[in-house]
């Protein structure tokens, strides 16, 4: 079963069986306003990843869960008992897959965990509008299912997302550093190509091996 859970220990059957964990999507923009403040018509596309969202852009978001704009979780019929964990939530009401569920991402370059629902696609890219963490149904990799309090569940999701972003930024910095090193080696080789320098061939071999 492909389910996401919110911090109130309520499950949503998202139905995304083929979803890949830790997916990063290109985003048209991250808006500074909440989705509930948007007065223009809102178009929520299906959760299929477009070619443009795979290609990369100036704005990139980590897909962490789903948002249900028409669901009032406070009116869910069978709720978990207070102090329950997701692991031991029992026979609770599972929210059915919704056609208007929006994907939720966080900006991978931001130190803060602000959640954005992806809506209003243009030329294959969506805009992100703010939603609260309590409104997000988080995927498996962004939850601690042993936690027994709502506030701690949301905090656990925040920490797991932050840990991923820290690792991502570290890897980006390492790649940039390695790219600069390779560039310098290439320039050294090019500058000494006409000279009889004993170590020139060693540098050339190292560059070609990268």
Per-residue pLDDT tens for 62-90?
999 999 987 776 666 666 777 788 888 88
pLDDT number for residue 164: 95
- Looking at residue 20, the DSSP 8-state letter turns out to be P
Query: What pLDDT, in 10s, does the model give residues 101-153?
Result: 999 999 999 988 999 999 999 999 999 999 999 999 999 999 999 999 988 99
Model pLDDT for residues 175-185, shown as the tens digit of each residue: 767 767 777 77
- Which has the minimum average pLDDT: 2-6, 97-101, 132-136, 171-175? 171-175
Which segments of the chain does DSSP mark as H helices, in order? 51-55, 150-191, 200-209
**Cα distance between residue 205 and residue 191, in whole Å:** 15
List the domain boundaries for the chain: 3-168, 175-209
CB within 8 Å of 125: residues ≥ 6 apart? 26, 27, 28, 50, 52, 53, 57
């Amino acid at each position: 079963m492909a389910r996401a859970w919110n911090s109130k220990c309520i499950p949503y059957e998202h139905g995304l069986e083929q979803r890949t964990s830790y997916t990063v999507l290109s985003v048209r923009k991250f808006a500074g306003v909440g989705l509930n403040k948007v007065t223009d018509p809102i178009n929520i596309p299906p959760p299929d990843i477009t070619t443009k969202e795979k290609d990369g852009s100036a704005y990139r978001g980590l897909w962490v869960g789903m948002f249900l704009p028409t669901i009032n979780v406070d009116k869910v019929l069978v709720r978990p008992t207070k102090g329950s964990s997701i692991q031991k939530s029992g026979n609770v009401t599972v929210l059915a897959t919704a056609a208007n569920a929006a994907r939720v991402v966080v900006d991978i370059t931001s130190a803060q965990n602000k959640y954005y629902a992806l809506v209003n696609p243009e030329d294959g890219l969506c805009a992100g509008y703010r939603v609260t963490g309590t409104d997000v149904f988080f995927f498996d990799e962004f939850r601690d299912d042993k936690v027994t309090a709502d506030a701690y569940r949301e905090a656990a999701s925040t920490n797991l997302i932050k840990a991923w972003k820290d690792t991502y930024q570290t890897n980006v910095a390492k790649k940039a550093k390695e790219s600069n090193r390779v560039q310098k080696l290439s320039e050294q080789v090019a500058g000494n190509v006409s000279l009889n320098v004993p170590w020139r061939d060693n540098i050339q071999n190292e560059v070609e091996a990268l």
